[in-house]
Each structure stands twice: as structure tokens, then as C-alpha cells.
Structure 1
Amino acid sequence: MREIVAELPWWVKWVAVPVIALVVFGGLIASVVGFVIGLLFKVLVFVALVGGLIYVVRKFMSSSSSRSDW
């Protein structure tokens, strides 16, 4: 295999083969990238919601404990 690739011109190795790979596997690559980006977005939304919940609970607990001091 290495001998076959070594005999090819540079433009076949560095241009034609990657273009063919993108055409063949482009849909798969796009789906994987879309899935990863969607997953990262969902993780970001989850972290923001949990952080907001913790903030609200702490704010509520501190305000209720200050009222009980009276």
C-alpha cells in the first residue's frame, strides 16, 4: 500500500484523496459534528439551569434566615 501511495503525484495524495473522503464521509462527519455541538449546547443549558437554581435557593435561604433573626 505504501508503495502505491508513494508513486502517486502530490496533488492526488493531498487534494484528490481528501476531497473523495469528504464526499463519501461528509454526511457522517456532519452528523457527528452536529451531535457533538448539540450535546455541548445541552450541557451548557444544564449547567446554567443548575447554577440558576443554586443561586435562587441560596438567595431564598439567606433571606428566610435573616427574617428569622428578628
Structure 2
Amino acid sequence: MREIFAGMPWWVKWVAVPVIALVVFGGLIASVLHFVIGLLFKLLVFVALVGGLIYVVRKFKAGSASRSDW
């Protein structure tokens, strides 16, 4: 790979090639990022819902245990 870019100016390696890669693969990169961010958001919502459920169940059990002591 180094032999290919050996005679090229610096801007070809560091500007032109990344820009071409973004143009060609930009849609793929965007869709992968969208999928990963969506998955992380759904995971966060899942964790929040499970945590809320555990909180409600513990509160309910603590409340029913104190009522049964009467």
C-alpha cells in the first residue's frame, strides 16, 4: 500500500482519499451509525424500564410487608 502512495503529494493521502471514501461509503457509514445509536438507545430504554419495574416491585413489597405487621 505504501508503494502506491509513495510518489503522491501529501494531500492525496490525507485529504482526497478520505473524501472519496466518505462519498462512496457515506451511506453505509451513516446507516451503521444509525443502527448502533438506535440499538444503544433501545438498550438504555430497556435498562430504565427494568430498573423502574424493580423499584416499583420493591416498593410494593416493602409496603405490603409493613401493612401485614399490623
What residue number does 1:23 align with?
A: 23
**Unpaired runs of at least 5, structure 2:** none
Aligned-pair RMSD on alpha carbons?
0.7
SS in 2 for 1:32: helix
Q: Secondary structure at the match of 2:8?
A: coil
CA-to-aligned-CA distance 1:32-59 (integer Å, 9 cap, x gap): 0000000000000000000000000000
Moved segments of 4+, more than 4 Å: none
How many Å apart are 1:3 and its aligned residue? 1.6
* CA drift at 1:6: 1.1
Residue 4 of structure 1 and its aligned partner are, at CA, apart by: 2.0
Distance (Å, rounded) in 1 between the aligned partners of 2:53 and 2:40: 20
Q: After the TM superposition, which residues 38-53 of structure 1 pair with which residues of structure 2 at under 5 Å, given as runs?
A: 38-53=38-53
TM-score for the superposition, normalised by structure 2: 0.97
Gaps of 5+ in 1: none
Structure 2 residue aligned with 1:59: 59
Per the normalisation by structure 1, the TM-score is: 0.97
In the alignment of these two chains, the number of paired residues is: 70
